[in-house]
Amino acid sequence: MPFSGLDNFVKTLDSKGQLVRVKEYVDPIYEIAEVTDRISKQQDGGKALLFENTGTDFPVLINAFGSDERIALALGVFNLDSAAAKIEELFKHLTHPRHSLTSKLKILPTLNRVAKWFPQTVSGRGECQEVVHREPDLSILPILKSWPYDGGRFVTLPMVNTKDPNTGIRNVGMYRMQVFTEALTGMHWHRHKTGARHFNEYKKLGKKMPIAVALGGDPVYTYAATAPLPDNIDEYILAGFLRNKKVRLVKGITVDIEVPYDADIVIEGYVDPSDDLAWEGPFGDHTGFYSLADWYPRFHVTCITHKRNAIYPATIVGVPPMEDKYMARATERIFISPIKIAMLPEVVDMNLPEEGVAHNIAIVKIEKSYPGQAYKVGHGLWGAGQMMFNKIMIVTDSDVDVHCTKDVARAITKNYNPLYDTLISRGPLDILDHSSNKPAIGGKILIDATVKFSEEQSIGVESIVLDPEEVSAHLKQVSEGLSDFNVSLLSEGISVVIISIDKSNGGVVRALAQSIVGVLGESLPKIIVIVDKEIPLDRIPIVAWYTAGNVDPERDCFYAECDDVRFACLFIDGTQKTIESDNFKRDWPNIVTSSRETVQKVDSMWDRLGLGGFIDSPSTQFLGIVNQDGAISK
């Protein structure tokens, strides 16, 4: 069902027992983030939080999308798969061949339905303009500062409305905004984004770029701003489709840009291409690491408008899982049908696991019918929109549950020969990726875990059953470099061993790998993952997240040899890279955590917040790892 704003959505969440109202004062600087981090990492995502006492006139709604139930509710669907089915039914109806006049006439009701999804601009002022601040001051809003090394306060759920100056086609993107002064922020759009393309067009014309940033309104608008739509496809059409009701728009007060009639808050202004760029960041990002400071455009605020009962929406991002996990899951479910229908019909299902922070890991299930098909699918997906940022892709057969990690791991164990079934490639990476030698470009790896046709078969595919105790005894013989190891997956029939190394004492990953080959010989598992000694090896999801974030497959995935024999074992170096041991010359970011002071402050106030039993801070497991001097680790 459509919502008329966040107040309407909050009442619905409240009625369903999906909301906690926090009446105690909680500081938007650090404290709201620390409380939310504890709640959002609960197994079911915890509940949405409404912080009613923020030191401003606006409550903060956070973790609103942070469960399967709430993201489906926000999108107006029974569940996420029903949204995918709705899109699939529409695609099939529109693309079905129609030869007779009668069959062609049958499509008219569908076309009429589609027309109702297109946004409509209405005259007059909207609910979002009930209160107008022509002398804007961003300090009236409870804008969060989430983590200790963030460059400042950041608007984290902005729907940034821009237009192509040549075509007038609208785009709604989500680009974080660091607050510099009461009327100036950064505009953090990456070079791959449509907003950045619009900016470049204004720059060519020598014109200021008008922008209207909407906050809140129907929560489906927020999701649509994050969706990986093709360039020149209006996000408000997707919103209209999902809510089954067109989005009403109104013109801004000081800019010729439309915004949703029922948005809670609107920040109007412009970017001047002739301005010097601003040094923006660092920011504790969705990768779980800080994105480091860089140069971005300045956004000059000309007006702030809002509803009388406006709610300020926010989110925090950092080490997964968090609220963005569920938004990524919505994208995974909603966009699987267009991929199948329009591009890769053999794709049956896809999983973007939380450990991969939406783009680092993709597990793809296919209906395989010819040799090399896994590589065809990999190349196709790496060339499709935001899938170009994927680093690690695993392709399985249609009988594998890609949402069950152990099912996937057993398929790799059974069907994967590291020497023959590995594809290393190279291509674009997310700007936020810190692992590659140069920004925005680096390695990719595809693991073909499908059953092989005769043309693909190679010697040694069959998995050797390894005795965990025997492997453990051999690893204890490694005298230098090895800090710890975990062979527990071998007991579950999964041919993966996890190793940690102490690089601070001069440990070198390649030398360690050579030593391991020397002691294990033919008893090597198919995959050995190496991480830093501080990572808890029994926390497999943490190991997976840490490795996926730190690996550049072109540089860090390798085989070890002994006596000119290359073994069928893939080593994956998931350690931090340094100039001393890896000749890595970029800054390496810290893991995102709260400070010890903030953790202790929230510990002391927990009983007063009405959030139930005490929850330990997720940051405590990493506080011993992070460099306490700033966002840069090494």
Q: Supply the residues annotated as catalytic.
A: 285
Kindly report the three-state secondary structure assignment for every residue of 431-460. CCCCCCCECCEEEEEEEECCCCCCCCCCCC
Max CA separation in the chain (angstroms): 80
Tokens of 172: 């709604």
Nearest 10 degrees: Cα torsion 514, 516, 519, 525: -120
Tokens of 501: 């190394």
Tokens of 613: 């039993």
SS3 state at 310: coil
How many Cα atoms within 13 Å fall on the side-chain side of residue 531?
A: 25
Non-local (6+) Cβ contacts of 282 within 8 A are: 149, 150, 151, 290, 291, 292, 293, 589, 630, 631
d(CA 559, CA 268): 54
Non-local (6+) Cβ contacts of 496 within 8 A are: 409, 413, 489, 490, 525, 526, 527, 528, 529
The answer, yes or no, to whether the previous bond of 418 is cis (omega within 30 of 0) is: no
Q: Are 508 and 481 in contact (CB under 8 A)?
A: yes
Alpha helices in 183-323 (DSSP H): 194-205, 219-226, 235-243
Residue type, 383: G
Which helix (H) or strand (E) is 351 found in, with range? strand 347-351
The DSSP bridge partners found for residue 29 are 145
Non-local (6+) Cβ contacts of 406 within 8 A are: 492, 494
Q: Are 438 and 428 in contact (CB under 8 A)?
A: no
SS3 state at 136: coil
Summarize the chain as % helix, strand, coil (round to 5). 30, 25, 45
Which helix (H) or strand (E) is 397 found in, with range? strand 392-397
To which residue do tokens 């306490």 refer? 628
